């Protein structure tokens, strides 16, 4: 796995992303911790299932959505990582054909 950047201190906060333990520094956003661990994809788009991940890092784009502690649609760039939290890629379901667009 190619890491976006490396750190001398990986941190002391441990959380789980898709079953993998990730170390983060106290105060990191979930998005920053995932990028530091080499995890670039947090969700798949509903149409086309294209991969998306942290982009703006300030809550404007919604590309970093993931499931955190069982709650979907959470912007990972706006959530501070906590020890023991469980984060999962958000696998968006295809839109219902009966939905009107």
Which of 82, 96, 90, 87 lies closest to 63 in space, CA to CA? 90
SS3 51: strand
Q: How far apart are CA 51 and CA 18, in angstroms?
A: 15
* Segment 45-80, tens digit of pLDDT: 988 899 999 999 999 999 999 999 999 999 999 999
In which band, very low, low, confident or very high, does the pLDDT at 9 lie, cut at 50, 70 and 90? confident
Task: Specify the pLDDT at position 96.
Answer: 53
In which band, very low, low, confident or very high, does the pLDDT at 98 lie, cut at 50, 70 and 90? very low
For the beta carbon of residue 3, count every other beta carbon within 10 angstroms. Answer: 12
Structural domains in the chain, CATH included, are: 13-88 (3.10.20.440)
23 conformational bin, left if phi > 0, alpha if psi -120 to 50, beta if neither? beta
Task: Specify the pLDDT at position 69.
Answer: 98
**pTM of this structure:** 0.83
Task: Specify the pLDDT at position 80.
Answer: 98
């Amino acid at each position: 796995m190619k890491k976006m950047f490396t750190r001398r201190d990986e941190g002391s906060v441990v959380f789980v992303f898709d079953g993998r333990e990730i170390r983060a520094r106290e105060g990191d956003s979930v998005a920053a911790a995932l990028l530091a661990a080499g995890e670039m994809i947090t969700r798949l788009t509903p149409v086309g299932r294209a991969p998306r991940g942290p982009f703006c890092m300030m809550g404007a784009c919604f590309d970093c959505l993931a499931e955190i502690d069982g709650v979907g649609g959470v912007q990972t760039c706006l959530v501070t990582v906590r020890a023991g939290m469980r984060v999962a890629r958000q696998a968006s379901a295809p839109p219902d054909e009966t939905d009107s667009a």
